[in-house]
């Protein structure tokens, strides 16, 4: 993994830091695993804007990712490591012995030609997927299920990882990327290793237009709005009024909005730090 700083031959490249893409082995996606991806522009079925600051952006195709890793016991060879425009992590194309091809989230250190396998009998090596009940304690894991058979939902973005801390009965204790410590059933699947493209956090876009290419429109600061538009709006000049809050009055910056009666609260051992 590496990043490159561009020479300032244009104003937009003066502070630009780009990904070196050392891990990428091909720029041609597998056609059988592509699906169309429609953009909403933040509008609902009536054409009304329900989400602000969304629109435009480059056309994309969705890569169908295998988050469940339910092809147990069948080895799959890593054919290539590819860029995915829909996520920060890189993806790996697996070719299984029975001829089926699937995309999976690539882990750091994954090499072309490497054999990956999932299931109870897999060994705890980078890229293999195993139930939490079979993974050695202290192992760094990613792409973790929250419910058995649901598919990976936690620790999926670039450079993300969690740690398997303990096991007690039918639950495993996991320290998540946010710092939260949580109980998860030992029958849930997880992948060994850290998610690829950990240098993603070092990138600098260099210009506003690059954000527009990603489909994000300019965001208006609440403090410059009128009182009718936002609780923090109004006032003469650059007065920033009151406490930071959302458009419907919910305080920001530390105010906890999680329900005290939420059913899954009993599975959270320690909440994330503020």
Q: Mark which of 201, 217, 240 sits at the end of a domain.
A: 201
Do 232 and 185 share a domain, yes or no?
no
Mark whether 16 and 84 lie in a shared domain: yes
Residues 125 and 258 in one domain: no
Clarify whether residues 105 and 232 are in a common domain. no
109, 33: one domain: yes
Does any domain span residue 209? no
Same domain? For 195 and 240 the reply is no
Q: With respect to residue 218, please indicate whether it lies within any of the assigned structural domains.
A: no
Query: Does one domain contain both 197 and 231?
Result: no
Mean pLDDT of 103-110: 96
pLDDT at residue 238, rounded to an integer: 85
- Residue 264's SS3 state is helix
Instruction: Give me the chain's average pLDDT, please.
Output: 95
Does residue 214 fall inside a structural domain? no
What pLDDT band is residue 241 in, cutting at 50, 70 and 90?
A: low
Kindly state whether residues 102 and 237 are assigned to the same domain: no
163-207: per-residue pLDDT in tens? Answer: 999 999 999 999 999 999 999 999 999 999 999 999 999 999 999
Are both 124 and 53 inside the same structural domain? Answer: yes
User: In what helix (H) or strand (E) does residue 34 lie, and over which residues does it extend?
Assistant: strand 34-36
Q: Quick one: average pLDDT of 202-215?
A: 96
88 and 170 fall within a common domain: yes
Distance between CA atoms of 60 and 82, rounded to whole angstroms? 15
Domain total of the chain: 2
Buried b (16+ CB within 10 A) or exposed e, 110-123: beeebebbbbeebe
- The whole-number pLDDT of residue 1 equals 64
| pLDDT mean over 117-139 | 96
Q: Which domain holds residue 247?
A: 227-266
| Residue range 40-56, pLDDT digits in tens | 999 999 999 999 999 99
Residue 139 CB partners (closer than 8 Å, separation 6+)? 124, 163, 164, 192
The verdict on 141 and 232 lying in the same domain is no
- DSSP secondary structure string, 126-189? TT-EEEGGGSPTT-EEESEESSTTS-EEES-STT--EEEEEEETTEEEEE-TTS-EEEEETTSE
pLDDT band at 237 (very low <50, low <70, confident <90, very high): confident
pTM of the predicted structure, to 2 decimals: 0.93
Q: What is the CATH number of the domain that holds 137?
A: 2.40.50.140
Say whether pLDDT at 100 is over 90: yes
Q: Is residue 217 part of a domain?
A: no
């Amino acid at each position: 993994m590496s990043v490159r700083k561009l020479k300032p031959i244009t104003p937009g490249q003066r502070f630009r830091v780009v990904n070196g893409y050392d891990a990428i082995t091909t720029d041609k996606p597998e056609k059988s695993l592509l699906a169309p991806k429609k953009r909403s522009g933040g509008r609902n079925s009536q054409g009304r804007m329900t989400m602000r600051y969304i629109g435009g952006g480059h056309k994309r195709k969705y890569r169908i990712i295998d988050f469940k890793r339910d092809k147990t016991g069948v080895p799959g060879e890593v054919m290539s490591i590819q860029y995915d425009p829909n996520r920060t992590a890189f993806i790996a194309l697996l070719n299984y012995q029975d001829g089926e091809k699937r995309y999976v989230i690539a882990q750091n250190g994954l090499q072309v030609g490497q054999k990956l396998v999932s299931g109870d009998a897999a060994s705890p090596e980078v890229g293999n997927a195993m139930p939490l009940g079979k993974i050695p304690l202290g192992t760094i894991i990613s792409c973790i299920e929250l419910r058995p058979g649901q598919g990976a939902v936690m620790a999926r973005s670039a450079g993300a990882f969690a740690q398997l801390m303990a096991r007690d009965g039918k639950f495993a204790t996991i320290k998540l990327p946010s710092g939260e410590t949580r109980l998860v059933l030992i029958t849930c699947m997880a992948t060994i290793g850290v998610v690829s493209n950990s240098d993603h956090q070092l990138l600098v876009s260099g210009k506003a237009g690059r954000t527009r290419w990603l489909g994000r429109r300019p965001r208006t600061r609440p403090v410059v709005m009128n009182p009718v538009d936002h609780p923090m709006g109004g006032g003469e000049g650059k007065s920033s009024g009151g406490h930071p809050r959302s458009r419907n009055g919910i305080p920001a910056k530390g105010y906890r909005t999680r329900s005290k009666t939420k059913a899954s609260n009993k599975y959270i051992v320690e909440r994330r730090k503020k």
